[in-house]
Structure 1
Amino acid sequence: MKKPLELKNCHIFLENYQILQYFIIRVFQVVRKSTGASHFVKHLQFTKWPDHGTPASAEGFIKYVRYVRKSHLTGPIIVHRSADVGRTGVFLCVDVVFCAIEKNFPFNIMNIVGQMREQRYGMIQTRYICI
């Protein structure tokens, strides 16, 4: 699409992107300079969560999480944000709840959040509306 991002050891090409109502899908090709070996990375960005607030409704976020879960075929999922505690924590919590529902396991959201906070200080600092 545009010029590739040139890094010391690799080139990164934006192969494709799609702007949807609640999120953007990007596909990058990462090419190692020394060998020419490449792999593709799918990047999903939720766009409807305002700074210093919460989404207007949970619908878009739930659709986003479902899409992430559906599109993940192989390899790890990397979830990130600047501090990796607030929105990232909400995403992880919703993912855990979806797993519990799929497997018919009982769950308690407050216990899930409590366990997450034990593993990472500051995870989900406030009571987000969408949880």
Structure 2
Amino acid sequence: MGATAESLPEQLFLDLPITQARNPPVGMDLVEPWATEYCTAITEKRYGDAIWARYNIFGDTVDGMYTHWDCTDDGQYTEWNVSVYDEILEDARGYARDRDVYREALEFYRDTSEDDSRRDIIEALYRIGNQPYRLWFFQ
């Protein structure tokens, strides 16, 4: 499995083709430096960096944090912050329910460069993928 500019690098976490990140369609607002970092990291096989950039690419994070809002039944709003890293791992736990697709993603990430500054993300994805109880529990 390899990434080309037109294809999805990997369908779970790197779900934007490089061409789309470089030239987003009308209505898709991507922010810098994340769009450039996403493309560069993929071409350099720094997949942890690419995942980090992908989760920041739409500009809805500040200092590595998402702000979530929830409206209660009485109309009050509550706010809570979640780190990008925790959001990635939460998504990974959900994706791991589909054993075959998640395994394909892990195969793709096996080729991650030693120059990746976010290898912690890749290692966490493998830890989640190696939890057999999680994989069979949700099927």
- TM-score, normalisation: structure 2: 0.30
Larger radius of gyration: 1
Higher helix share: 2
Structure with the bigger RCO (C-alpha within 8 Å, sep 6+) is 2
Query: Normalising by structure 1, what TM-score?
Result: 0.32
User: Higher strand share goes to which structure?
Assistant: 1
